[in-house]
Structure 1
Amino acid sequence: MAGDFRFPDADTDVTEKNEETEIVVNVGGVRQVFYSDNLNQYPETRLAELLNCLSGGYDSIFSLCDDYDPGKREFYFDRDPDAFKCIIDVYYFGEIHMKKGICPICFKNEMEFWKVDLKFLDDCCKTHLSEKKEELEEIARRVQLILDDLGVDASESRWKRCQKYIWKFLEKPESSYPARVIAVLSFLFILISSVVMCVGTIPDMQVLDAEGNRVEHPTLDSIETACIGWFTMEYVLRLISSPNKLHFALSFMNIVDVLAILPFYVSLTLTHLGAKLMELSNVQQAVQALRIMRIARIFKLARHSSGLQTLTYALKRSFKELGLLLMYLAVGIFVFSALGYTMEQSHPDTLFKSIPQSFWWAIITMTTVGYGDIYPKTTLGKLNAAISFLCGVIAIALPIHPIINNFVRYYNKQRVLETAAKHELELMELNSAEGKAASSRSELGDLASEGKEGPFYSSRLKVSHSDTFIHLLSEEKHYRTRLQSCK
């Protein structure tokens, strides 16, 4: 086909000149005719370069396309035709939209192949592309963390290796069985400490001190001291072994850990030293105020519960919906409290003394709690109350569905990313074993024909047919054909 190529003659008629102003492109079996007027709008694109490549000979032609038919003046490309149909919109409309179902990363690669700038991609499509990039970066980060845990650098000092081991032992329960046991113990200490804090407030479980004041039972106090000792040792070891101590100290969960430990030592200091500097009653009030801060340790459960972490992230992603909910309730509370105050003024035994006092009634009514401490007594007031709790139900129900969707979407996304990270590790293990397997394929074929299992198929290595590759983990360039897709 390429051997019949001839350069165009200089003496061409008007018809041949018109043919030179158009090109025929065949992308994956889909033929498209383009005219120079449209292509020259973007001269840096690959299709525009095809107009001038004929005068450069074979090297110029085949540097731009996969094949060329000089008889039909047709350029062949082994690329994705569906993505190409979207990309050529830039020549007619000046913008590009991705079709539903096309992988954003593959579409970006197609745009780079056709040398079309990403600025022509519509904003909504750029959002899908950025989300896909974030997913790949998250997968790459998880894979890199696993590889860092598996790899051992012999050039590192003994202290550095010990530091990594302690960090993995305390932060990654899935790394080993002892680490899992430590995570379970930490979880149990949190539960025991929370239970002791609650039981210590029961009057029957308290004892009288020398001044006649009720204090916690010495046994409960000893259990509390043991739990604080565990929390302190755990925090100090994690701080020492942390690779980035500033980031560790400013992390939210680690701040919670400090708030759960600090009140014990501050109250202990005030109890033994504060009496000499201030009145004993002030010291006791300060100690009680610090003791109530022990409730912060219940948030430590989020470190060991993926469900609580998912819920926290879903609430963070639902700030807009939660803001709408609070705005609806705030407007309703103001309106119905003002109406309730006005309508109840005619009753001599009214409970609505002022509009700010009526806010409490509006809150418990719109949220359908209804304590009954404040209630309307007039007919119009009761009608206002009925309308207020109906509006409250509607206002609360409207944003709930988006919040639930955010939770389900994030939960499913985390499961997909976890599976993708494991799959990527399997692919990397498979690719690393290909070199060794190539030299023994004939031997494996003989073993397979005899019904035996070769050494290549181990329990750790699973065969996969996906072509997914995380580019962030390698500096090498990998190209895809139209038959491949990013799964």
Structure 2
Amino acid sequence: MDAPNRRVVINVGGVRFETYASTLQTFPGTKLSNLAESTAYSTTDYDPQRNEFFFDRNPVVFGYVLDFYRTKHLHCSGDMCKSVLMEELNFWEVNSSQMSYCCWLKMNNMVSNLEDIGMWDEVSHHDQQLLVQTDRVDYGWRARWQPKVWTLFEMPFSSLISMCVAAVSLLFTIAAIVIFFEETKEHFVFVVANGTSDADIEYFSLKYEFDYRKVSYLLYLELVCILWFIFVFFIRFFFCPDKKKFMKNLLNWVDFISLFPVFVELMARGQVKPMDDLWMVLGFLRTSYILKLIRIILHIEGSLILRVLSGTLKAIMKEIFILLLVLAFEALFFATLEFYAECSEIGVNHESSVLGDIYASCWWAIITLTTVGYGDIYPVTTFGKIVSSLTAICGIMTIVIPIPILMIKFQHYYSIALAKEKLKNHRHKQQGL
């Protein structure tokens, strides 16, 4: 039998493959092409009784490699792990760049999914990672109580006591928010009378100033809530295994800021002169009471959707930036066009014009593009109304077009995150058996 027509038997992982020597010589210089040489019997694992070469490798990938020698087109299954495929191709000295376009796309999609799964692992196991202490050995009482106390305050569904602590924290948070809202009621506004005199007219008059001060019992009730917040915050900080990760969490900074307004107000209550600016600043700081509800929302089962939404926004940050650039361009363009459209018919300083300058036109353009339409600024000329209509249409198209991108991304990431959650729950059940 001629050498090119000689059959060669290759046993890969217990699976026997048979082909012609001419097929193995399709790509000279590779590992398989060397099997067609006479020296292969002494340099490789050759069984003379079975007349076959043996390789303890993956037989599935070798089938793809052998088909590549037959057809000169490298195809692979879409469910094949890329790292395994690359390792086997390197062993058989096949360049991965020879892979067909269709299979290359499938492999790239698989890599993207793996990266997404890794991202959800990082987000969902953030709190669990805080329980792991590294590079430190501590056998004191703090080390014994640390996992228990941290779990007590961070994982409300881990035990009945944890649920009670979470319920108490929720009640104090709601109470602080209600007190914060109650201080804005009209019957809690004090009127301060300042007596002044006028030497020329010789009479005494009173000037009334409004001083927004909270009544005492509300302030002390708020103080009780803050004392609970202080207790929880410092317990969590003291028993947190990783202080750096604790400080990087924005919600912990929100908890820290919420501790100060009530004490500042207690110290400032003795001032006779009204301090409206201070009360306004304290009011802004007290909005942190509302932000504290985010931590409670993240602890419920629906937090998966919030994590997916956050990850989706991060994934499409480039698209969002481009959308903002387009909106900025449209706002500047239509603002300028609208301003001169109005001026062309009624003039710049006409009393019926509501567009004082291009800055006011920019405000009008943004409100119109986003389809809000406050109605404080509106066109009065025919040409201006035409430009206004075009602005609204462009705004609708600009905002509506990116919505499918967001929905597709969200659905993709949510399916991955949901699969990971199901896998985690399944592993917990298996460990409990």
TM-score of Structure 1 vs Structure 2, range by shorter chain: 0.7 to 0.9
Q: 2:410 aligns with which of 407, 411, 421?
A: 407
1:336 maps to 334
Q: Deviations over 1:327-374 (max 9, x none)?
A: 221121111111110110122321112111101111111111111111
Query: What does residue range 63-212 of structure 1 map to in structure 2 within 5 Å?
Result: 69-70=50-51, 73=52, 79=58, 81=60, 83-84=61-62, 99-100=77-78, 102-104=79-81, 107-113=82-88, 115-116=90-91, 120=96, 125-126=107-108, 128-129=110-111, 131-132=113-114, 135=117, 145=128, 156-207=139-190
1:247 maps to 245
Provide the C-alpha distance between the structure 2 equivalents of 1:403 and 1:113, rounded to a whole number of angstroms. Answer: 38
SS of residue paired to 1:175? coil
2:200 maps to none
SS of residue paired to 1:376? coil
The answer (yes or no) to whether the contact 1:190–1:297 under 8 Å persists in 2 is yes
Q: Deviations over 1:73-108 (max 9, x none)?
A: 576888564x556556887999977543x143xx42
Tell me the TM-score normalised to structure 1 length: 0.67
Residue 247 of structure 1: how far off its partner (Å): 1.8
Residue 400 of structure 1: how far off its partner (Å): 1.6
Provide the C-alpha distance between the structure 2 equivalents of 1:93 and 1:244, rounded to a whole number of angstroms. Answer: 57
The answer (yes or no) to whether the contact 2:4–2:20 under 8 Å persists in 1 is no
Percentage of pairs with the same residue: 24
Q: Structure 2: which amino acid aligns with 1:423?
A: H
Provide the C-alpha distance between the structure 2 equivalents of 1:49 and 1:267, rounded to a whole number of angstroms. Answer: 86
TM-aligned CA distance change 1:355 to 1:172, over 3 Å: same
Count of aligned pairs between the two proteins: 390
Residue 385 of structure 1: how far off its partner (Å): 0.7
1:356 maps to 359
The answer (yes or no) to whether the contact 1:365–1:388 under 8 Å persists in 2 is yes
2:382 matches 1:382: no
Q: Structure 2: which amino acid aligns with 1:340?
A: E
2:199 maps to none
2:293 matches 1:301: yes
The answer (yes or no) to whether the contact 1:86–1:96 under 8 Å persists in 2 is yes
Residue 422 of structure 1: how far off its partner (Å): 2.4
TM-aligned CA distance change 1:130 to 1:341, over 3 Å: closer
Q: Deviations over 1:401-446 (max 9, x none)?
A: 222333333333322212112223444x3xxxxxxxxxxxxxxxxx
Provide the C-alpha distance between the structure 2 equivalents of 1:164 and 1:311, rounded to a whole number of angstroms. Answer: 30
TM-aligned CA distance change 1:384 to 1:144, over 3 Å: closer
Provide the C-alpha distance between the structure 1 equivalents of 2:95 and 2:49, rounded to a whole number of angstroms. Answer: 30
Residue 176 of structure 1: how far off its partner (Å): 1.0
Provide the C-alpha distance between the structure 1 equivalents of 2:399 and 2:217, rounded to a whole number of angstroms. Answer: 46
Provide the C-alpha distance between the structure 2 equivalents of 1:391 and 1:255, rounded to a whole number of angstroms. Answer: 41
The answer (yes or no) to whether the contact 1:139–1:421 under 8 Å persists in 2 is no
1:451 maps to none
TM-aligned CA distance change 1:252 to 1:145, over 3 Å: closer
SS of residue paired to 1:370? coil
Query: Any unmatched runs of 5+ in structure 2?
Result: 195-209, 298-302
Judge which range, 240-249 or 154-163, deviates more. Answer: 154-163
Q: Structure 2: which amino acid aligns with 1:375?
A: Y
The answer (yes or no) to whether the contact 1:167–1:242 under 8 Å persists in 2 is yes
TM-aligned CA distance change 1:371 to 1:160, over 3 Å: same
2:42 matches 1:55: yes
Output the aligned Cα RMSD: 4.1
TM-aligned CA distance change 1:245 to 1:48, over 3 Å: farther
2:281 maps to 289
Provide the C-alpha distance between the structure 2 equivalents of 1:323 and 1:93, rounded to a whole number of angstroms. Answer: 46
Q: Structure 1: which amino acid aligns with 2:41?
A: L
SS of residue paired to 1:424? helix
SS of residue paired to 1:369? coil
The answer (yes or no) to whether the contact 1:68–1:74 under 8 Å persists in 2 is no
The answer (yes or no) to whether the contact 2:58–2:88 under 8 Å persists in 1 is no
Provide the C-alpha distance between the structure 2 equivalents of 1:189 and 1:377, rounded to a whole number of angstroms. Answer: 53
Q: 1:422 aligns with which of 411, 425, 431?
A: 425
Provide the C-alpha distance between the structure 1 equivalents of 2:426 and 2:413, rounded to a whole number of angstroms. Answer: 20
Provide the C-alpha distance between the structure 2 equivalents of 1:68 and 1:208, rounded to a whole number of angstroms. Answer: 109
Query: Any unmatched runs of 5+ in structure 1?
Result: 1-12, 430-459, 462-487
1:468 maps to none
Provide the C-alpha distance between the structure 2 equivalents of 1:129 and 1:185, rounded to a whole number of angstroms. Answer: 45
Q: Deviations over 1:285-334 (max 9, x none)?
A: 13421331221332322222214444333322331232232122112111
Judge which range, 167-176 or 255-264, deviates more. Answer: 255-264
Provide the C-alpha distance between the structure 1 equivalents of 2:319 and 2:86, rounded to a whole number of angstroms. Answer: 36
SS of residue paired to 2:42? helix
The answer (yes or no) to whether the contact 2:9–2:16 under 8 Å persists in 1 is no
Provide the C-alpha distance between the structure 2 equivalents of 1:296 and 1:250, rounded to a whole number of angstroms. Answer: 17
Q: Structure 2: which amino acid aligns with 1:252?
A: L
The answer (yes or no) to whether the contact 1:26–1:32 under 8 Å persists in 2 is no
SS of residue paired to 1:16? coil
SS of residue paired to 1:363? helix
Provide the C-alpha distance between the structure 2 equivalents of 1:263 and 1:97, rounded to a whole number of angstroms. Answer: 66
Q: 1:216 aligns with which of 214, 217, 223?
A: 214
SS of residue paired to 1:164? helix
2:206 maps to none
Provide the C-alpha distance between the structure 1 equivalents of 2:19 and 2:191, rounded to a whole number of angstroms. Answer: 93
The answer (yes or no) to whether the contact 1:111–1:118 under 8 Å persists in 2 is no
Provide the C-alpha distance between the structure 1 equivalents of 2:241 and 2:369, rounded to a whole number of angstroms. Answer: 50
Provide the C-alpha distance between the structure 2 equivalents of 1:209 and 1:310, rounded to a whole number of angstroms. Answer: 52
